[in-house]
A = this chain, B = another copy of it.
Amino acid sequence: MNAQITTSRRTRRTPFSQYVEDAGVRAYTVYNRMLLPAVFRSLEEDYHHLKSAVQVWDVSCERQVRLRGPDALRMLQLLTPRDLTKISTKRCMYVPITDQNGGMLNDPVAIKISDEEVWISIADSDLLFWVQAIAGCNGFHVVVDEAEVFPLAVQGPKATELTARVFGDRIREMKFFGADRFVFADEEILITRTGYSKQGGFEIYVEGRHYAGELWHALFEAGADLDVRAGCPNLIERIEGGLLSFGNDMTFENTPLECGLGRCVNDSQLATCYGGRALAEERANGSQRMVRALTVSDKIPRCDRAWPLISNERLVGQITSAYRSPDFGVNVAIGMVDHTHWDAGTEMTVMTHAGPRAAKVQQKFWI
């Protein structure tokens, strides 16, 4: 399949789209009805560069669902099974959001801005609708909207060096999932030590459009000798690293426990949060299926649909992301596998749309 993408106001441009296009973006996807770069040179070239240098990513599509008001934090706690006691303005948290059945509606990062304001940095679904309805129904004192914020990620082994050159050395002291404000162009800008790669880096929450261009260019000027390039989340690197993609590897048909997010499901919350009862039952009885790293044999097509996993003519799961890893020399994959077949070393057949291949459960991801 070799089709162009058409654009319209509905598939929103970002303050960085022009720069991304100047940098030669070859393919886009649409994420939260916004353009998200997917390929610059090639998936493989982008991959090698991400793992060796530093990239600046336009991830404006990580929209911020903003809760403002005295009930903001209390409401957030109702939306997730994760205990938020330790969230602070210096520490953000990954918070699966669950529906009444424990199904995942989104897997965002929540950032505490103040005692009366929270941003939920979302994956690809209209979490705004859910939060807004719940706020109204429960009479919470909170205003819910989508903030004019356009995150920019700096990712790669040289990300700390580059970010420190632009925002100062204090950035080096931040811990993983730390949050703080740094000055650029007379603005106090929120930065978190997060990002959708395993190479390390930061996310910069660009508020409004007025300094977006200046920041983009400052990063590229400061990083010229670091071989900084425009980049984007890389399919191969994220599969190797076991970074699940909402909509690909998990949907609202999956619970956080199935997604291997048990650490984000805290017993203390299950009596009160949405879906808590279902999650408590699943924890007590054991999950029926769970995310696994897998390898797939031979040549494989683009994994643009779920591939059934078959054993003894029985459906035992599915693979939802897969690609040839240049560094590991195998096809790396992420799948959801039934408990009968999820042990490391288990072999089965995966039905790709180009025919069957051999699949094997791995002990862990490639990190």
Contacts and interface: CB of A to CB of B under 8 A. Distances in A.
Interface stretch (A134-142, A188-196, A263-271): A134-142
Interface in A330-356: none
Contact of A7 (B8, B138, B304): B304
A288 interface: no
A302 interface: yes
Interface string A81-112: 00000000000000000011000010000000
Given A126-B125, A133-B130, A28 B10 contact: no
A26 B4 contact: yes
B33 A11 contact: no
Given A25-B3, A247-B33, A9 B303 contact: yes
A232 to B, nearest CB: 10
A231 to B, nearest CB: 14
B33 A124 contact: yes
A9 B133 contact: no
Contacts of A165: none
A14 to B, nearest CB: 10
A306 B132 contact: no
Contacts of A28: 3-6
A117 to B, nearest CB: 20
B38 A6 contact: yes
Interface in A207-235: 235
Interface residues of A, number: 50
A278 interface: no
Contacts of A13: 304-305
A66 to B, nearest CB: 14
B4 A3 contact: yes
The complex is assembled from copies of this chain, and their number is 2
Contact of A10 (B1, B11, B124): B124
A29 interface: yes
Nearest to A21: B1
Given A13-B305, A129-B125, A8 B134 contact: no
A127 B129 contact: yes
Contacts of A25: 3
A287 interface: no
Given A127-B129, A129-B126, A7 B1 contact: yes
Contacts of A127: 129
A228 B10 CA distance: 29
A361 interface: no
Nearest to A35: B3
Nearest to A12: B305
A245 interface: yes
A359 B302 CA distance: 45
Interface in A28-77: 28-30, 33, 38-39
17 contacts: A3-B27, A5-B28, A8-B235, A8-B247, A9-B247, A9-B304, A9-B320, A10-B248, A11-B30, A12-B305, A13-B304, A33-B124, A99-B132, A100-B132, A127-B129, A133-B133, A133-B134
- The 8 A-B pairs with the shortest beta carbon distances in the complex, nearest first, are A137-B137, A10-B247, A133-B133, A126-B126, A30-B30, A5-B5, A6-B38, A129-B130
